[in-house]
């Protein structure tokens, strides 16, 4: 009896086929992907993805690869080949699974795909696998379709600017590029975590989607040891010179007429001469550039720079040792041992940076994220887990963002302390009724704990009750590893569940919040959203049953992480999203309307309640982070729907106003006064930037 | 810099004077110049230009009279002479005072540019006048995005009346419906026109000796066919989506998006494809547009002299003395024909840098065929219909075709490639626009670029013949742009119709005025999002100090009339005439002083 293997080995390209044709990179480009073993059916189709190789442009199916065939198993899958579609299937499977697994490792939990919305009482359905169509169209494009939960890859004929760079009219398959596959897979993963990030409510939103996908693809290069060592040797350890690690999609780039890769985090080829130059960060770019990819590359460059400075500080001692204390290396090739050590430091630093970027997702507001918020999320997530930043990772990030003029809004100074979201620490150890736990009777409820956000006693109690409920959720989900079960339990804890033979009734989180905070202006203030029953009309739909304003709970999740010092954090995080209908006339705010569902479950064919002319939906949201150990609400990371500044200075403490600053900003972005259309394609064929069902299909038009 | 700028017009004035005084004077001037040769060689070069222009005029006149003198021979002669004269030398100091051209009866001193307000689309009459006396009449294009023969007729009747059914020169810039469909919709009116001469771009020449025009036409025809197939498939899909009534949440947004996409496609089809005109039978998608075909037929029937012009050429016309028509575009090389600019420096907004969608086009062309010839892989890798024994093959197909997974099918997503194809075709045809700079007495310039896009604009600056033609070292194209006093805004004020650094930023004349053929009330739906480009609009308003006339300012925030009320312009520089039915003006007219 032989044990199940831990990995399935599959051959593939580290980058894309073009590098296998270059003498200097051929031997590092063919690598073996090690994918955690899972049962596959021909396609291949596994737990997370299913590859279906249908080519609608010729109306043909291509033969599916069977990776369980003995010959495939003994030689690590099929030979890399551009002419065999079955290798293409193997490649998309391997590269997408690698991305998914790396992501899960950093996130500390299983990833779920965005769910399928349906027009009946089931409302949302679990999507176990995304589909991958390796040959879905004939154009230089590949995209994630949020509608179909599918990755579509195109192929096209090359039209290089210089015929010595690639063969004109040769076929280029986007599904053979590791970078493109990783990028698109990340789009899908991010959509599963933050489904509102597809909406262009500000200039950074779509850019963030692009940047984040690029970051994941880039840092995945550092997980290929041969590639890393080769590039370290080639650059003599200096990763701020031209190297493959910082570049994305070489073949695609040259095929559509660039001088090199599609994107490069460190430098770029001069369009006139074709000579590579180091990028100089400039603050004006962030102010001026609006095209999502170009804007996204500012964020990518910032993160990459944070990485290189961390890497430099980590190898300082090695370089001194290797150079006899001078810091100046001898001419010629580096000794192999040094290369290995440098590579291992680079891999470590890259892993840390990647972890910081992925962890930060849990600390982001659910809507309307901008780069500044993301920086704050990175810092907060890191401070939370790692108390002693002895290598100054956080400074490296702050510095790299500062050099590009990316500053968060609403902070008074730029420091780690002010960048970190304010710690609220509301709550106390309590039982399910909100009473102080007997076992912790030594803890008294201090009304004016200086460490604590000042809040009314009632609301504190309510939050303690919610926290107790979240503990239950944490317990229920802690040891569940089946993704569908995670989905179902989470859904029940949000939406509630009726009693059955096998399980008790659950009163859902949604309902609890609805009932509890009807009379808590303090909770409005904490979240920036509206929960109080008799608040003025701000264009928010009223709940039929409770009379309070309607809202949506998303992304309930348990986060358990272990820090480098053995410390553990156990948090339950969820986000609340609320929308308000606003009407603009002649470029100015005019009135509110109440957004109603656009369809009725009973009559799905009829379109209901179209917004009035000039009306659009404005969303506010808040991510709440509860600490299960102390039972306190630690952070409320908010994009407020209401005007908190005004509330602060207003005499009438319960008079709520809509956050005009944010509404205006969204109006400008979505209604043209800021000219925010990402490309000509979208101008002609879009339905307005805010309503595109396939944003990435449009976005990736090159 | 300032010095060079000041000297130039002075010199031109001398030239102009020479022209006015005609052949007799010319000799004297040349003699004088020879005497001065040692001092100012440059002056000689100038004289040669004078001679060329005058000689040409003479030839043209002769040609009109006798139709016997071969034009080419005359031009060649001049070319030889010109080559013999050394060009490089220090600049002469000219102290002569500027004098106005003599008030001859036919000395053109103003041009009345009349834009007919047919809806978004170009239709211009230019009357070159001496005071109020018309010396020369020119027509540029006739088309609109919207309207049938009934809508066109009042305007075209008015136009015919205005020019007395007689024009000296007709220019047809390029084959887009918004520039040519008037010729087919009001065919009968144009049949009765007297047309002195007609100019087209070299790309329209069926007998282009290089064969390049033929190749372009063929490619264009293929692209049109492909596009037509794609649009048909998309409409069918849209209908199917509508009828399916799927219970998927996204079905509706899919349908909406599908319809938005189709709307965009329809816009491009309206402009580019003849079938959309409703006057032609389906299946002729690859043919040239009816408007273009009709006007060519009319000209053929009338035996009108037709010229196909190439960039770098300078042409003159009988009667229009002192006027030179410099041909800027369309570019001769395919690189420029398909080139895109960089956002920010070249154009206001980057367009797709999408290379030829040849592979997609091939798939569209193959759509209705039995056998498909251009598979990306060997046939052995496809699942054949007979593969019933292979369970893997069956499983994959079944998975895809399962009913409850219908929402994930991708049968039609690839059709969206037609969007890029259409944009590409559209911009390619825009770049075949005949772009003309009309220069008066070597001084003021009226610029009519058709709908030329960035690739064409850039090519103007690279015309070999015109390199450092100007004494100040500037390329002649740049110099022409510097002196532009009137600009017909390219492509209805969209972001891609006007180059930035190599275009609008070079138009620095104090007298600069502009006209744009944009009417958001009468426009193809898909264009609404691209026209006007706000940044370009504001830049032109700034440069023209409000002397900017848009066909209809409705729905345009911050239109030029907010800066300057056109009615306040002196000397009736701005006129317009309302239609009796109250549906807006027949035309908007601006008078440019060109002396």
Of A50, A85, A697, the CB nearest to B377: A85
> Which residues from chain A sit within 8 angstroms of residue B353, using beta carbons?
256-257, 702
State whether A117 and B526 contact (CB < 8 Å): no
Interface test with B, best of A64, A113, A128, A139 (most B CBs within 10 A): A139
* Residue A430 confidence class, pLDDT cut points 50, 70, 90: low
pLDDT, position A56? 92
What lies within 8 Å, CB to CB, of B359 at 6+ separation is A138, A139, A155, A156, A157, A171, B374
Please state, in angstroms and rounded to a whole number, the distance separating the CA atoms of residues A395 and A310: 9
Tokens linked to A68 = 């369980």
- Among B residues 63-82, those touching chain A with beta carbons less than 8 Å apart: none
Interface test with A, best of B397, B416, B493 (most A CBs within 10 A): B416
> Which residues from chain A sit within 8 angstroms of residue B356, using beta carbons?
157, 159
> Which residues from chain B sit within 8 angstroms of residue A149, using beta carbons?
408
- If we measure between CA atoms, which residue out of A159, A184, A113 comes closest to residue A697? A184
State whether A677 and B350 contact (CB < 8 Å): no
Task: Please say if the pLDDT value at position A238 is more than 60.
Answer: yes
Of A60, A152, A701, the CB nearest to B382: A60
Strands B305-309 and B194-201: parallel
Q: Does A162 touch chain B (CB under 8 A)?
A: no
- Among B residues 548-567, those touching chain A with beta carbons less than 8 Å apart: 557
What lies within 8 Å, CB to CB, of B261 at 6+ separation is A685, B234, B416, B419
Count CB atoms within 10 A of the CB of residue B585: 17
Tokens linked to B46 = 């100038």
State whether B413 and A56 contact (CB < 8 Å): yes
Question: How many whole angstroms from its chain centre is CA A565?
Answer: 27
State whether B247 and A604 contact (CB < 8 Å): yes
Question: How many whole angstroms from its chain centre is CA B130?
Answer: 28
Tokens linked to A485 = 């079960």
Q: Does A57 touch chain B (CB under 8 A)?
A: yes
Task: Please say if the pLDDT value at position A468 is more than 60.
Answer: yes
**B258 and B415 in contact (C-beta within 8 Å)?**
no
Tokens linked to A525 = 């203030």
Of A137, A680, A693, the CB nearest to B257: A693
The reported pTM is 0.81
Please state, in angstroms and rounded to a whole number, the distance separating the CA atoms of residues A623 and A554: 9
Positive or negative torsion for Cα B8, B13, B19, B23 = negative
Tokens linked to B129 = 């006048």
Count CB atoms within 10 A of the CB of residue B247: 13
Please state, in angstroms and rounded to a whole number, the distance separating the CA atoms of residues B465 and B313: 9
Please state, in angstroms and rounded to a whole number, the distance separating the CA atoms of residues A569 and A500: 33
Task: Please say if the pLDDT value at position A615 is more than 90.
Answer: no
Strands A150-157 and A130-137: parallel
> Which residues from chain A sit within 8 angstroms of residue B397, using beta carbons?
61
- Among A residues 561-620, those touching chain B with beta carbons less than 8 Å apart: 587, 598-599, 604-605, 607
Please state, in angstroms and rounded to a whole number, the distance separating the CA atoms of residues A35 and A102: 10
pLDDT, position A531? 87
- If we measure between CA atoms, which residue out of A560, A559, A561, A557 comes closest to residue A575? A557
**A282 and A404 in contact (C-beta within 8 Å)?**
yes
Residue B516 CA: distances (Å) to CA of A79, A291, B117, B380, B589: 59, 27, 11, 57, 12
Which secondary structure element, helix H or strand E, spans residue A241, and what is its range?
none
Residue pLDDT, tens place only, A616-657: 889 999 999 999 888 888 999 999 998 888 877 766 666 788
pLDDT, position A460? 80
Positive or negative torsion for Cα A161, A164, A165, A168 = positive
pLDDT, position A625? 94
* Residue A389 confidence class, pLDDT cut points 50, 70, 90: confident
Q: Does B382 touch chain A (CB under 8 A)?
A: yes
Of B252, B257, B414, the CB nearest to A692: B257
Name the minimum distance, in Å, from the CA of A195 to any CA of chain B.
14
pLDDT, position A654? 65
CA dihedral defined by A580, A585, A590, A592, rounded to 10 degrees?
A: -30
Strands B548-552 and B513-519: parallel
State whether B355 and A257 contact (CB < 8 Å): yes
Please state, in angstroms and rounded to a whole number, the distance separating the CA atoms of residues A166 and B77: 48
Tokens linked to B482 = 């510097």
Residue pLDDT, tens place only, A49-100: 999 999 999 888 999 999 999 999 999 999 999 999 999 999 999 999 999 9
Q: How far apart are the first and last CA of chain A?
A: 53
> Which residues from chain B sit within 8 angstroms of residue A173, using beta carbons?
376
**B549 and B574 in contact (C-beta within 8 Å)?**
yes
In this prediction, residues A568-581 reach a mean pLDDT of 92
- What are residue A530's DSSP bridge partners? none
State whether A52 and B399 contact (CB < 8 Å): yes
Please state, in angstroms and rounded to a whole number, the distance separating the CA atoms of residues A44 and A623: 37
Tokens linked to A301 = 């460059």
More confident residue, A433 or A461: A461
Tokens linked to B5 = 């700028």
Of A56, A138, A675, the CB nearest to B534: A675
State whether B396 and A52 contact (CB < 8 Å): yes
Name the minimum distance, in Å, from the CA of B463 to any CA of chain A.
19
- Exposed, middle or buried, A469 (CB in 10 Å: 0-12/13-18/19+)? buried
pLDDT, position A636? 93
**B54 and B47 in contact (C-beta within 8 Å)?**
no
Please state, in angstroms and rounded to a whole number, the distance separating the CA atoms of residues B170 and B194: 10
Please state, in angstroms and rounded to a whole number, the distance separating the CA atoms of residues A653 and A644: 11
> Which residues from chain A sit within 8 angstroms of residue B267, using beta carbons?
684
Please state, in angstroms and rounded to a whole number, the distance separating the CA atoms of residues A507 and A488: 15
- Among A residues 76-95, those touching chain B with beta carbons less than 8 Å apart: 83-86
What ipTM goes with this model? 0.82
What lies within 8 Å, CB to CB, of A319 at 6+ separation is A237, A327, A329
- If we measure between CA atoms, which residue out of A429, A412, A641 comes closest to residue A539? A641
State whether B363 and A57 contact (CB < 8 Å): yes
No. of H helices and E strands in chain B?
16, 15
Interface test with A, best of B396, B430, B535 (most A CBs within 10 A): B396
- What are residue A30's DSSP bridge partners? A13
Q: Does B242 touch chain A (CB under 8 A)?
A: no
**A669 and A459 in contact (C-beta within 8 Å)?**
no
Which secondary structure element, helix H or strand E, spans residue B169, and what is its range?
strand B166-171
Q: Does B379 touch chain A (CB under 8 A)?
A: no
> Which residues from chain A sit within 8 angstroms of residue B254, using beta carbons?
147, 693
Collapsed DSSP state (helix, strand, coil) of residue A556: strand
- The region, left, alpha or beta by phi > 0 then psi within -120 to 50, assigned to residue A135 is beta
Tokens linked to B103 = 């008030």
pLDDT tens digits for chain B (595 residues)?
333 444 444 444 444 444 444 444 444 444 444 444 444 444 444 444 444 444 444 444 444 444 444 444 444 444 444 434 444 444 444 443 444 454 566 789 999 999 999 999 999 999 999 989 999 999 999 999 888 888 999 999 999 999 999 999 999 999 999 999 999 999 999 999 999 999 999 988 888 887 778 877 887 888 888 888 888 888 888 787 777 655 566 666 677 777 778 888 888 888 888 754 444 444 566 678 888 989 999 999 999 999 999 999 999 988 888 999 999 988 887 666 555 555 444 444 333 333 456 778 788 888 777 777 788 898 888 887 666 667 777 788 888 988 888 888 888 888 888 887 788 788 888 888 999 999 999 999 999 999 998 888 988 998 888 886 667 778 999 999 999 999 999 989 887 788 888 899 999 999 999 999 999 888 877 777 778 888 889 899 999 999 999 999 888 888 898 888 998 888 889 999 999 988 889 999 999 999 8
Please state, in angstroms and rounded to a whole number, the distance separating the CA atoms of residues B477 and B501: 13
Please state, in angstroms and rounded to a whole number, the distance separating the CA atoms of residues B28 and A480: 103
State the SS3 of A147-185.
CCCEEEEEEEECCCCCCCCCCCCCEEEHHHCHHHHHHHH
Query: Residues in chain B, how many?
Result: 595
More confident residue, B487 or A613: B487
Q: Does A282 touch chain B (CB under 8 A)?
A: no
Positive or negative torsion for Cα B78, B81, B83, B88 = negative
Count CB atoms within 10 A of the CB of residue A589: 15
Q: Does A145 touch chain B (CB under 8 A)?
A: yes
> Which residues from chain A sit within 8 angstroms of residue B426, using beta carbons?
none
Tokens linked to A312 = 């430099």
Task: Please say if the pLDDT value at position A230 is more than 90.
Answer: yes
**B577 and B587 in contact (C-beta within 8 Å)?**
yes
- A393-402 helix and A292-322 helix, angle to the nearest 10 degrees: 130
**A593 and A611 in contact (C-beta within 8 Å)?**
yes
- B41-66 helix and B71-84 helix, angle to the nearest 10 degrees: 170
Residue pLDDT, tens place only, A330-379: 888 899 999 999 999 999 999 999 999 999 999 999 999 999 999 999 99
Name the minimum distance, in Å, from the CA of B436 to any CA of chain A.
27
> Which residues from chain A sit within 8 angstroms of residue B266, using beta carbons?
none
State whether A159 and B412 contact (CB < 8 Å): no
* Residue A170 confidence class, pLDDT cut points 50, 70, 90: confident
Q: Does B254 touch chain A (CB under 8 A)?
A: yes
pLDDT, position B517? 94
Name the minimum distance, in Å, from the CA of A300 to any CA of chain B.
21
- What are residue A152's DSSP bridge partners? A133, A143
More confident residue, A696 or A30: A30
State whether A291 and B350 contact (CB < 8 Å): yes
Closest residue in B to A672 (Cα) is B529
State whether A684 and B526 contact (CB < 8 Å): yes
């Amino acid at each position: 009896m032989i044990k199940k293997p831990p990995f399935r080995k599959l051959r593939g390209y580290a980058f894309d086929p073009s590098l296998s044709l270059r003498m200097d990179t051929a031997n590092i480009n063919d690598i073996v992907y090690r994918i955690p073993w899972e049962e596959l059916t021909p396609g291949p189709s596994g737990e997370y993805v299913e590859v279906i190789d249908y080519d609608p442009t010729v109306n043909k199916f291509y033969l599916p690869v069977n990776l369980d065939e003995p010959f495939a198993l003994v030689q690590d899958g099929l030979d890399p080949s551009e002419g065999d579609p079955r290798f293409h299937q193997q490649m998309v499977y391997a590269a997408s699974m690698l991305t998914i697994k790396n992501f899960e490792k950093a996130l500390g939990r299983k990833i779920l795909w965005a769910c399928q919305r349906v027009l009946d009482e089931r409302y949302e359905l679990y999507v176990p696998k995304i589909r991958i169509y390796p040959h879905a169209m004939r154009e230089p494009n590949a995209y994630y379709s949020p509608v179909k939960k599918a990755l579509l890859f195109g192929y096209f004929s090359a039209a290089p600017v210089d015929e010595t760079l690639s063969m004109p009219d040769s076929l280029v398959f986007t599904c053979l590029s590791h970078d493109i596959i990783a990028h698109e897979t990340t789009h899908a993963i991010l959509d599963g975590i933050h489904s509102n990030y597809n909406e262009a409510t500000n200039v950074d939103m779509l850019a963030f989607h692009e940047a984040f996908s690029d970051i994941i693809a880039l840092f995945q290069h550092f997980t290929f040891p041969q590639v890393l060592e080769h590039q370290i040797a080639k650059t003599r350890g200096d990763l701020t010179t031209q190297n493959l690690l910082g570049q994305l999609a070489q073949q695609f780039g040259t095929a559509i007429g660039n001088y090199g890769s599609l994107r490069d985090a460190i430098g770029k080829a001069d369009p006139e001469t074709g000579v590579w130059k180091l990028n100089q960060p400039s603050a004006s770019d962030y102010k001026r550039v609006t095209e999502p990819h170009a804007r996204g590359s500012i964020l990518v460059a910032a993160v990459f720079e944070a990485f290189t400075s961390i890497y430099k500080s980590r190898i300082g001692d090695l370089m001194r040792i290797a150079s006899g204390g001078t810091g100046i290396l001898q001419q010629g090739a580096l000794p192999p041992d040094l290369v290995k050590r440098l590579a291992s430091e680079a891999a470590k630093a890259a892993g840390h940076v990647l972890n910081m970027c992925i962890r930060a997702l849990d600390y982001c507001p659910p809507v309307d994220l901008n780069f500044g918020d993301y920086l704050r999320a990175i810092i907060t997530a890191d401070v939370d887990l790692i108390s002693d930043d002895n290598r100054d990772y956080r400074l490296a990030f702050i510095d790299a963002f500062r050099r590009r003029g990316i500053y968060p809004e609403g902070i008074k100074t730029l420091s780690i302390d002010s960048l970190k979201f304010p710690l609220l620490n509301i709550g106390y150890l309590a039982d399910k009724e909100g009473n102080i736990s007997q076992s912790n009777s030594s803890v008294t409820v201090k009304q004016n704990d200086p460490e604590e956000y000042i809040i009314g006693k009632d609301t504190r109690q309510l939050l303690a009750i919610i926290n107790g409920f979240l503990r239950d959720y944490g317990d229920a989900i802690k040891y569940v590893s089946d993704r569908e079960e995670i989905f179902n339990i989470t859904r029940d804890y949000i939406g509630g569940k009726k009693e059955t033979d096998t399980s008790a009734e659950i009163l859902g989180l949604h309902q609890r919040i609805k009932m509890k905070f009807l009379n808590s202006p303090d909770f409005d203030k904490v979240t920036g959203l509206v929960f109080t029953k008799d608040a003025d009309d701000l264009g928010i739909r009223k709940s039929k049953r409770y009379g309070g304003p309607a809202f949506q709970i998303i992304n309930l999740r348990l986060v358990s992480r272990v820090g480098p010092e053995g410390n553990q954090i156990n948090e339950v995080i969820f986000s609340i999203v609320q929308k308000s209908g606003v009407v603009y006339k002649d470029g100015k705010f005019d009135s509110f309307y109440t957004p109603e569902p656009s369809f009725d479950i009973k009559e799905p064919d009829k379109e209901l309640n179209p917004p009035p002319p000039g009306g659009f939906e404005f969303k506010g949201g808040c991510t709440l982070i509860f600490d299960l150990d102390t039972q306190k609400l630690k952070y409320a990371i908010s994009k407020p729907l209401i005007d908190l500044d005004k509330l602060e200075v207003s005499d009438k403490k319960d008079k709520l106003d809509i956050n005009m600053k944010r509404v205006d900003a969204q109006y400008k972005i979505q209604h043209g006064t800021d000219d925010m259309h990402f490309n000509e394609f979208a101008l002609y064929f879009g339905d307005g930037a805010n309503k595109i069902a396939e944003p990435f299909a449009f976005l990736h038009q090159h | 810099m300032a010095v060079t700028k000041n000297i130039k017009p002075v010199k031109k004035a001398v030239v102009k004077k020479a022209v006015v005084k005609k052949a007799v004077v010319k000799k004297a001037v040349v003699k004088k110049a020879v005497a001065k040769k040692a001092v100012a060689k440059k002056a000689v070069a100038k004289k040669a230009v004078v001679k060329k222009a005058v000689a040409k005029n003479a030839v043209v006149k002769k040609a009109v009279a006798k139709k016997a003198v071969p034009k080419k021979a005359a031009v060649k002669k001049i070319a030889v002479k010109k080559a013999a004269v050394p060009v490089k030398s220090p600049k002469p100091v000219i102290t002569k005072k500027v004098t106005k051209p003599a008030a001859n009866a036919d000395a053109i001193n103003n041009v009345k540019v009349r834009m007919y307000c047919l809806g978004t689309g170009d239709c211009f009459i230019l009357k070159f006048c001496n005071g109020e006396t018309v010396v020369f009449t020119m027509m540029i294009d006739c088309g609109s995005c919207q309207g049938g023969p009934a809508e066109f007729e009042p305007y075209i009747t008015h136009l015919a009346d205005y020019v007395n059914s007689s024009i000296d020169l007709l220019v047809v810039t390029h084959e887009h419906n918004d520039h040519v469909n008037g010729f087919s919709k009001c065919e009968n009116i144009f049949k009765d026109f007297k047309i002195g001469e007609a100019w087209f771009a070299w790309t329209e020449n069926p007998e282009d000796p290089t064969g390049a025009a033929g190749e372009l036409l063929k490619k264009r025809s293929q692209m049109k066919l492909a596009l037509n197939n794609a649009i048909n498939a998309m409409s069918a899909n849209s209908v199917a989506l509508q009828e399916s009534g799927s219970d998927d949440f996204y079905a509706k947004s899919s349908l909406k998006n599908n319809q938005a996409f189709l709307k965009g496609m329809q816009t491009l089809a309206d402009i580019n494809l003849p079938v959309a005109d409703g006057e032609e039978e389906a299946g002729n998608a690859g043919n040239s547009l009816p408007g273009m075909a009709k006007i060519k037929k009319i000209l053929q029937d009338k035996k009108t002299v037709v010229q196909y012009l190439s960039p770098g050429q300078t042409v003159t016309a009988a009667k229009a003395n002192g006027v030179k028509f410099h041909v800027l575009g369309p570019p001769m090389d395919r690189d420029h024909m398909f080139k895109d600019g960089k956002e920010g420096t070249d154009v206001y907004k980057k367009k797709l840098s999408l290379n030829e969608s040849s592979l997609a086009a091939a798939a569209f062309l193959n759509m209705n065929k039995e056998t498909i010839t251009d598979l990306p892989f060997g046939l052995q890798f496809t699942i054949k219909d007979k593969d019933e024994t292979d369970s893997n093959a069956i499983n994959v197909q079944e998975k895809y075709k399962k009913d409850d997974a219908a929402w994930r099918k991708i049968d039609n997503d690839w059709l969206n490639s037609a969007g890029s194809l259409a944009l590409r075709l559209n911009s390619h045809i825009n770049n075949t626009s005949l772009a003309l700079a009309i220069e008066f007495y070597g001084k003021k310039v009226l610029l009519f670029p058709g709908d030329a896009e960035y690739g064409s604009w850039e090519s103007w600056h690279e015309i070999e013949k015109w390199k450092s033609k100007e004494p100040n070292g500037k390329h002649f194209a740049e110099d022409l742009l510097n002196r532009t006093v009137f600009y017909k805004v390219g492509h209805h004020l969209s972001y891609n119709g006007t180059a930035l650094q190599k275009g609008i930023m070079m138009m620095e004349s104090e007298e600069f005025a502009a006209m744009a053929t944009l009417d958001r009330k009468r426009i193809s739906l898909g264009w609404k999002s691209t026209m006007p480009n706000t940044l370009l609009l504001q830049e032109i308003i700034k440069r023209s100090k409000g002397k900017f006339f848009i066909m209809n300012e409705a729905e345009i925030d911050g239109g030029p009339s907010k800066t300057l009320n056109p009615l306040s312009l002196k000397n009736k520089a701005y006129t317009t005439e309302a239609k009796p039915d109250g549906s807006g003006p027949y035309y908007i007219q601006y008078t440019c002083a060109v002396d």
